[in-house]
Amino acid sequence: MTVTISGLVVFAALLGVSIGLLMRRKDNTPNHLDVMLADINRQQSEMTGRLNSFAEMQEAAKGEINRTLSERLESVSKNVTHTLQESREKTSKTLGELGERLSLIDQAQQQITALSGQVVELQHILDNKQARGAFGEAQLADIVIDGLPESAYLFQHTLSNGKRADCLINLPNPPGPVVVDSKFPLEAYQKFKQAADEIEQKAALQQFGQDTLKHAEAIRDKYIITGETADAALMFLPSESIFSELHLRRADIVDKCRSMRVYPVSPNTMSLTLNTVRAIMRDVKMREQASIIQKEVHVMIEDVVRLNDRITKLRSHFDQANKDIEMIETSGTKISRRGEKITALEVEEPKTDKENISDNTGDKISDPADDLLSS
């Protein structure tokens, strides 16, 4: 379309130029005008042919351009479609992974929320003295049940003085039953951990030592009974951190507790103590069974001696049997030899009277039976 309009513009310009030339020329004879018109017609025909050629070339170029554009658009469309497909797959995969991570985060958040609730609940338990005692008793009971047989312990056992022990470990005499107390005071320790400055921390630490020592004295007075319990008791601390702080910062209080025969134990050291108790019980049981073991060993020795006698008799029987077998073999050998001699004898024909007479006067014929007997 652009080439056609351009051609028309050129044609109009040429036509205007031709007309102007005609108007300027002074020679207006008919022949001359005919020649000029013929020339103009010829030029117009040539121009029309050129314009047609230009139009055909324009159409061909347009078709080639359209084909090229179509191919490129198709290629671009395929690339865009493939890229969009990959992007959609990657986006879908990323969204799936993101969903899984969000799910894990949600689960972790729920666990954190539940744990926070448990921490708050535990804090409430530790703040309440009665609930704290029940918590310590439950923790101690789990450790003891896991570490000892059922016959080796008692919970909430009432002693002769009317005091009730949280746990009584039935050790034989000596040393005797050992009491374990689980109601450890934690108020001063909590103040120590929550202290805002060094002064408050020092005061709380001092109170923590005093409360611990006072509690140890109460355990000694209530649970160490001569002739009924061991001359020592255990003070159960429900946390390893409390046990560590007590030994690290108030070692003097620990020494005083030990001088009163009251020994602080944590969950871990309590488990180790129960392992030792279990070994002691096993040794005591073995000592109780020592007489039975000695009796059984004596009976076993008698059985061994009896077995040795029977083996000796059996060996003599075997020796006698071997001798009998040798004698049987000797008799068999003799019988075999005599049989061979009997088989080797030649049977002679009957003799005439003359031969008998001559034999009577000569050597006597040997009797096979005599030979057999003589051999």
What's the rounded Cα separation, in Å, for the pair 187 and 215?
13
- The pLDDT value recorded for residue 330 is 85
Per-residue pLDDT of 282-294, as tens digits, reads 888 887 777 788 8
What's the rounded Cα separation, in Å, for the pair 275 and 149?
11
> Where on the phi/psi map is residue 149: left (φ > 0), alpha (ψ -120 to 50), or beta?
beta
The continuous run of DSSP H or E covering 117 comes out as: helix 30-127
Three-point CA angle 219, 225, 227, nearest 5°: 155
Per-residue pLDDT of 307-351, as tens digits, reads 888 888 888 888 888 888 888 888 888 888 887 878 776 545 555
What's the rounded Cα separation, in Å, for the pair 46 and 10?
13
What's the rounded Cα separation, in Å, for the pair 305 and 300?
9
Q: Under a CB-based contact definition with an 8 Å cutoff, are residues 176 and 229 in contact?
A: yes
Three-point CA angle 90, 96, 101, nearest 5°: 125
Name beta bridge partners: 180.
Answer: 167, 234
Give the pLDDT band of residue 374 (cuts 50, 70, 90).
Answer: very low
What's the rounded Cα separation, in Å, for the pair 4 and 53?
10
Greatest mean pLDDT range, 83-97, 113-127, 143-157, 346-360: 143-157
Kindly tell me if the per-residue pLDDT of 126 is higher than 70. no
Domain ranges of the chain: 151-293
Kindly tell me if the per-residue pLDDT of 254 is higher than 70. yes
pTM: 0.48
Per-residue pLDDT of 47-97, as tens digits, reads 777 777 877 887 888 888 888 888 888 888 888 888 888 888 888 888 888
Sequence-ordered list of residues with C-beta below 8 angstroms from that of 217, at least 6 positions apart, any chain: 260
